[in-house]
Structure 1
Amino acid sequence: MIVQSRTGKLRWSTVVSYLPLDDKKKSSLSEMTLQNILNNEPVTDDGEYKFFNVKGRLLYQIGYKDGKVRSVGTVMKGSQLSTKTKRNSELSNAPRDVDPICIDWYLVTTVYDEEGIVIDYYEVYLFTTCDTGGGGGGGGGGGGEEPIDQEIVTAHTAHLVETEYTEDDNVSEIGEDFSGLATVPPPTYDCSYYVHRAALTRMIVGITMFNVTAHPSSITYYNYAKGNILRVVTPITINTSYTRDPTLQGAVCVWTFEANFRWTYLSQGTSTTKQYHKTKTQIVTPFM
C-alpha cells in the first residue's frame, strides 16, 4: 500500500498482511477496506491486519470484529513501556536494555470491547537490535526506525447542562399568576476539542482544547414577580488541560470555568448577577 499526497508525491508505503477472522468465509479484502482503516471509517472485513515496513519489520497490528476495532498492537522500545506488570512468561527471559547501543522491542497490545473500552493489555518481547557501527557517523538507531503512520484530526464537543436554578429562572405567561413550577431552558455548556491521532494505531498525538461556550447565551422571558427578564450567560474559561496514556491510547480532558449569570429586569431597570464554578471532564477513547 502506497500513500501519496494530493500532488502525487510519495508520503509513505507499507506492506499489509490480512488474516481473516473466519478463513472459510473470506479470502480477499473488499475494495475500500484499507482506505477505510486509514480514514477511521467502518471496516466490513473482520480479522487481523499487520502492517510492515518495506524491509519486512512489523510496525502495527489491528484486529477487527463485527466491523469494530477490538485490538491494536504497536511495536515499542522497551524504554517506552508502561510500569504495568508484564504478564507474558517470555518476558522474564527477554534481554534487558543493558547495553546502551542495544534496544529491546516489544509488541504492546491493547484489547477493547465493542464500546471501545479497554478490557485487556499485554506486552510481548519481539527482538533486540544493536548498533554495530561503533557509534560513528551519526547514523543512529541500529535499525530501530520510527513506525510509519499519518496523523488525522477529528472534531468533538462535550456538553454540560446547567443544573443550578434561582427564582429568576421561573417563567410564566404574561398576566398569569404562576408559582414558578416551570423554568426557562437551562444553558448548555459546549466544551469543544480536536483530537490529533495516528491513523493506523489511533494513538493520540495531541489534543487542542477550546474555551467553553454557552447556548442559549441570552434569552428573554416573562417572570410574574419580576416582569420581562433578559438572562445572559457568559462562561469564563479558567483552565483547559488533558492527560494521556501513550500505551493505552486514551486521554482525559478537563475544563474548569466560571459560569457568570446576569438577570436584567427590563421593566425595573435593575439587575442581579451570580457565578457558578464548573468543571467538565471528558474521557477520550481511541475510536471516537
Structure 2
Amino acid sequence: MKISIRTLLLAFFAILIFSYGCKKYDVADKDLLTAKTVSPLVAKAEMTSWIDRHVATSQAETQSYHLLKQNLNYEAAHVQKRKNGEDVLVIPVNDAIREKLKLNANYALKVITVKKNGKPRWSMIIAFLAGDGKTKSTLNNNSIQGIVNNERLEEDGLYKFFDLKGRLLYQVSYKDKKITSYGAVQAKDKRNGKDKVMSTNGSGTGNSTKMLLPEQEDCTEYYLVTTYYDQYGNPEYQTWEYLFTLCKDGNGGGGGGGGGGTPPEDPIDVEMTQEFSFPVAYTSFRPEDYRLPEGALSATPEGTPLTYDCKVSVTFASSTRKIHGVQAYPLVIHPANETYLHPEYGRIVRNVTPFSQSHNASYAGQKVSAYWTSIVNFRWAYLDRNSLPNTDDLDFNHSTSFIF
C-alpha cells in the first residue's frame, strides 16, 4: 500500500500537536496532583453549615457571614491533603468579597477550611497579591500547601489572612522566597476619655479618620503592626496602621466587641508546635583515615560523612502565627557509630559523642535565633590491626536565625 508524502506530513503534525497538547496538560496538571474535585452541592452544604455555626455579635457580622455564603464559587471547589492527613477544602471567592475587604482587582482570594475526621476545624480567607503588585494574581495549590503546612512559600508577593467575617488576622510578604515583612493585628486599650476614638464610618475597614467617644464607654483600638526585615532577616523598622475600634457598653455588649460564642476548636486559641532542623554537613576532613572535620584541610573521605543536626521548635497560634515560645534541642550527630572499610588499613570502627553541650533559642517578634556549642569526642580503632582506641576532641559551634 502506497502512502503519499502529504499523508505522512499530516500524520506527523497530528502526532506533534497531540504530543504538545499532552505536555501542556501535564505541566498544568502538576499543580493538581494533591487536589481532588468535590461536588458543588456538597461543598455548599458543608460550607454553609460551617459558617452558620459562627455566632455573630453584631448586625455587621451577620451581614458579613451572609455575604460570604452567597459569594463562594462552589463550582470550582476542591479538596487537598495536609501533610498530617487532614483534608483542606479550597473554594475560590467572588469579587464582592474582595471589594468588601477593600482589596484591588489584582488580588486572588480563596477560602480554605481545614477538616479533622471529616468535620471543619478552622477556616481563613486568603488574599494574595503578586510581587509586582500589578499582575492579576493566582493563588496556586502549591502555595496553599505551603500555607496549611506552615512552610516557606515559593511564590513572591503579599499574603493577607482574614477570618470568615472579613477581619484581618495577619499578613506576610515574600521576596526571593524570603520573608520581607510580617504584620499582625494588635489591640490598644483606650481608657482615658480624651483618648477614646473610633472610625467615623464605624465599619472597621481601615479608615483612619476618628472621632471622640463618650467617656463611659470602654473602647479598644486595633492596629496593623508590620515589621520589615532586611535580606539577612534582621528587623529594619516597624509601622503602625490604624484599622478600627471596638467598644463595649456598660453591660459588656454593643459595638461588635461585647463577647459572643465561637465555633468549636476555633483556631484563635489553638497553639501548634513546628520543628525546624538545621543539619551541618562536613565535607572537609583531616588527612587521617578516620573522618574528622577540620576546616580547610581535606583528604580522600572514608566512611559516611558526618551530619550535625541542630533542631529548634516554635510554638505559635495557628491562625495568627504569633509566637508563644521557642526551644533548642541538644546537638545530635549521625552516624554516631560506624564500622567501615578503609582500602589500606582494613576495618575501622568510629564512635562520635558530643558532650559539654550548650544550646539556647530566643525570639523577638517573628525572628527566631538559636545557637549550639559542644565538645565533640571522636574514638576510633583499627580492628584488623588490634590497635588500641585513639581519641580526639573538637569544638563545635553553630548558630542560625530565621523569620517564622
User: TM-score normalized by structure 2?
Assistant: 0.47
Q: CA deviation at 1:181?
A: 7.8
2:186 alignment partner AA: M
Say which SS state the counterpart of residue 171 (structure 1) adopts. Answer: coil
Q: Among 360, 365, 370, which residue is 1:241 paired with?
A: 360
Which of 22, 29, 35 is the equivalent residue of 2:144? 35
Distance in 1 of aligned mates of 2:403 and 2:134: 33
Residue-by-residue CA offset, 1:89-125 (whole Å, 9 max, x unaligned): xx9x999xxx996544221112356786655432223
| Higher mean C-alpha displacement, 31-40 vs 269-278 | 31-40
Matched residue, 1:191 = 310
Question: Does the aligned pair in 2 maintain the 1:73–1:201 contact within 8 Å?
Answer: no
Q: Which one of 160, 170, 180 corresponds to residue 288 of structure 2?
A: 170
Whole-Å separation in 1 of the counterparts to 2:237 and 2:156: 23
Q: Which residue of 1 aligns with 2:167?
A: 57
1:215 aligns to 2:334 (yes or no): yes
Structure 2 unmatched runs, 5+: 1-110, 190-207, 291-296
Instruction: Tell me which amino acid in the other structure corresponds to 2:310.
Output: C
SS in structure 2 at match of 1:251: strand
Q: 1:147 and 1:6 mapped to 2: Cα distance?
A: 13
1:75 aligns with 2:75: no
Who is 1:232 aligned against?
Answer: 351
- Asked whether the 8 Å contact 1:38–1:199 carries over to 2, the reply is no
Matched, 1:256 2:256: no
RMSD: 4.9
Q: Distance in 2 between matches of 1:148 and 1:212?
A: 33
SS at match of 1:182: coil
8 Å contact 2:153–2:174 — kept in the other structure?
no
2:394 corresponds to 1:284:
no
- Match for 1:282: what amino acid? T
Q: 2:334, 2:184 → 1: CA distance? A: 41
Aligned residues: 253
Q: Shift in Å at residue 74 of structure 1? A: 0.8
* CA distance 1:184–1:232, change in 2 (3 Å): farther
Give the counterpart of 1:270 among 356, 367, 388. 388
SS at match of 2:116: coil
Distance 1:33 1:263 in 2: 47
**Would the aligned equivalents of 1:14 and 1:53 in 2 still touch at CA under 8 Å?**
yes
Cα deviation, residue 243, structure 1: 0.2
TM-score after normalising by structure 1:
0.61
Aligned to 1:111: 228
2:240 aligns to what SS in structure 1?
strand
**Taking structure 1 as reference, are residues 216 and 135 closer, same or farther at Cα in structure 2, changes over 3 Å only?**
same
Sort the Cα spacing of 1:243 and 1:208 in 2 relative to 1 into closer, same or farther, 3 A.
Answer: closer
What corresponds to 1:159 in structure 2? 279
In structure 2, relative to structure 1, the CA distance for the partners of 1:44 and 1:244 (3 Å cut) is closer
Query: 2:241 is matched with which residue?
Result: 124
Aligned partners of 2:183 and 2:225 also within 8 Å:
yes
- Offset at residue 73 of structure 1 (A): 1.8
Q: Cα deviation per residue 1:201-233 (whole Å; 9 max; x = unaligned)?
A: 544444454432223433556699x99753321
Bigger relative contact order (CA 8 A; separation at least 6): 1
Distance in 1 between residues matched to 2:289 and 2:142, nearest whole Å: 54
More strand by share: 1
Higher helix content, 1 or 2: 2
Does the C-alpha gap of structure 1 residues 274 and 25 become closer, same or farther in structure 2, counting only changes over 3 Å? Answer: closer
Q: Deviations over 1:65-90 (max 9, x none)?
A: 677754332101348xxxxxxxxxxx
Larger Rg: 2
Which 10-residue stretch deviates more, 36-45 or 105-114? 36-45
Taking the aligned partners of 1:271 and 1:110, their CA distance within structure 2 comes to 54
1:3 to 83, 96, 113: 113
| Alpha-carbon distance in structure 2 between the residues aligned to 1:240 and 1:126 | 40
**% identical equivalent positions:** 34
Residue identity matched to 1:189: Y
**Structure 1 unaligned spans of 5+:** 80-90, 173-179
Q: Structure 2: how far apart are the matches of 1:21 and 1:165?
A: 43
